[in-house]
Structure 1
């Protein structure tokens, strides 16, 4: 499972943030330029009497506000991810999300347009507002759906490159080979490969939205679960909660560093430094001393 050569995912990680920001900036910049050109062509063809800068302001203000709202959608989809197995339950929430997104988008772009128009001694009209908002929402609903699908599709690809863990299912017939309530192994899917990871090989776990990342020999494998849900399935003699978002394998703890705040820093044998809240600090020190 550990080949000394860094995987495609590991090589991509240092460039991930630059790629993500660059993708959205380029997408909306290209959209604003392209739409401005076609809008000006329509203005000239229909002889509407607008100057060249006006369509450019319309498209640039819309693209700028949409770009600024992408992180909001990314945050919302982390809290309420949309997948094939939950889309019916999540769809109403995302419909409400599209309305909120459209309101923010419209308010922001109208404010920008009014400011630019005022600087030119003109007045930008957005009325009747209910009619104009309805028109904009029909477009924004599709834009919101496109952003959500792009983000979820991108995350799906990352999980496949990274490797995604799942609990072993109980067999259709007969008794399971190991306890389903407290599994000894996890199934990991990585691209077209499948392999088993022993629960005892997990060094630590970190909550990440609707997933929990299992840290195994320098690799993170996301598991669809809550931190409390997976904690209940791990061996309590071997694993301990150290913070709201972290669980550690006690055998992988190198040392505990007390902090002046009353919290602690847990140094793992793999070199990671994890936060330990004061709530769990005393119990962790006692368990480490007992195990030693």
Structure 2
């Protein structure tokens, strides 16, 4: 049990799993972008009669690439949350990306001004004139660079979408990722334990708790029925009331009532009242239709 919890924790919260690739890819992107601009910087400095020191330029480009890489996990996350490819409302989602990139460009320029003031000018903060100068010179270019990175991220995501021969592999991976586990973790009395789905007969809300019935035993779990339902294999279970879910193979008999409801008798002899709003679905699932 401890090993299972440890593996699940690492799968969800391992930083290297989520951030290492975007950070490295972002660093390479900004490095290439800055190096592409460097010949123009050298030419303008030469025309002004000034030679850019190689060491200083190396530090500036590396630092700028690192600073740009710091925001690429956020851009990658936003690409997943607000995809441009597929679905509707393209322009609304594109506007979200543009607004975010504009704000990030402003943040990056302000942060870079502070870093230059601390590292090279030995000042606590840059002057407003310097910040304004950098914004006027670089804001539009930086917004363009962020939008270009976002576009590349969307293209990569689109190319990696399953098609052709990869459909079966991707479908199997998706099923494996989303298939409900045979065991469900529950917390009772401050302790974490697992319960086999096959052992559950039925569930019902019980005040602020969820009552889980498995054979003669009943366990109270501090979770809502709707929340617990997401962990269940709903091929095995069916909702019979807004407060109750039953294992389909435990239903022994169904007796209609006058008002459209029905009384279900389980294999252990317990009777549960089924709401008429769920009757058609329960009958279909129980009869195998």
- The TM-score with structure 1 as length reference comes to 0.51
Q: 2:174 aligns with which of 220, 224, 232?
A: 220
Deviations 1:260-291 (A, max 9, x none): 4588767789xxxxxx9821377669746453
Matched residue, 1:232: none
Deviations 1:226-255 (A, max 9, x none): xxxxxxxxxxxxxxxxxxxx9866xxx533
Match of 1:259, SS state, is: strand
State the 1:68 CA deviation: 0.5
State the 1:147 CA deviation: 1.2
Instruction: Indicate how the Cα distance of structure 1 residues 262 and 153 shifts in structure 2: closer, same or farther if over 3 A, else same.
Output: farther
Q: Are 1:258 and 1:265, in contact at CA under 8 Å, matched by a contact in 2?
A: yes
Instruction: Indicate how the Cα distance of structure 1 residues 267 and 34 shifts in structure 2: closer, same or farther if over 3 A, else same.
Output: farther
Larger relative helix fraction: 2
Q: 1:258 aligns with which of 151, 169, 186?
A: 186
Q: Are 2:84 and 2:154, in contact at CA under 8 Å, matched by a contact in 1?
A: yes
Matched residue, 1:112: 115
Matched residue, 1:184: none
Distance in 2, matches of 1:192 and 1:50, equals 52
Is 1:90 matched with 2:93? yes
Match of 2:184, SS state, is: strand
State the 1:27 CA deviation: 2.8
Q: 1:102 aligns with which of 105, 129, 136?
A: 105
Q: 1:191 aligns with which of 135, 144, 164?
A: 164
Instruction: Indicate how the Cα distance of structure 1 residues 34 and 191 shifts in structure 2: closer, same or farther if over 3 A, else same.
Output: same
Instruction: Indicate how the Cα distance of structure 1 residues 262 and 96 shifts in structure 2: closer, same or farther if over 3 A, else same.
Output: farther
Distance in 2, matches of 1:55 and 1:142, equals 22
State the 1:44 CA deviation: 3.7
- The TM-score with structure 2 as length reference comes to 0.51
Q: Which runs of 5+ in 1 are unaligned?
A: 1-14, 161-189, 196-214, 222-245, 270-275
State the 1:69 CA deviation: 0.7
Distance in 2, matches of 1:267 and 1:18, equals 36
Match of 2:182, SS state, is: strand
Query: How many residue pairs get matched?
Result: 196
Matched residue, 2:75: 73
Matched residue, 2:27: 25
Matched residue, 2:61: 59
- The structure having more radius of gyration, on CA atoms, is 2
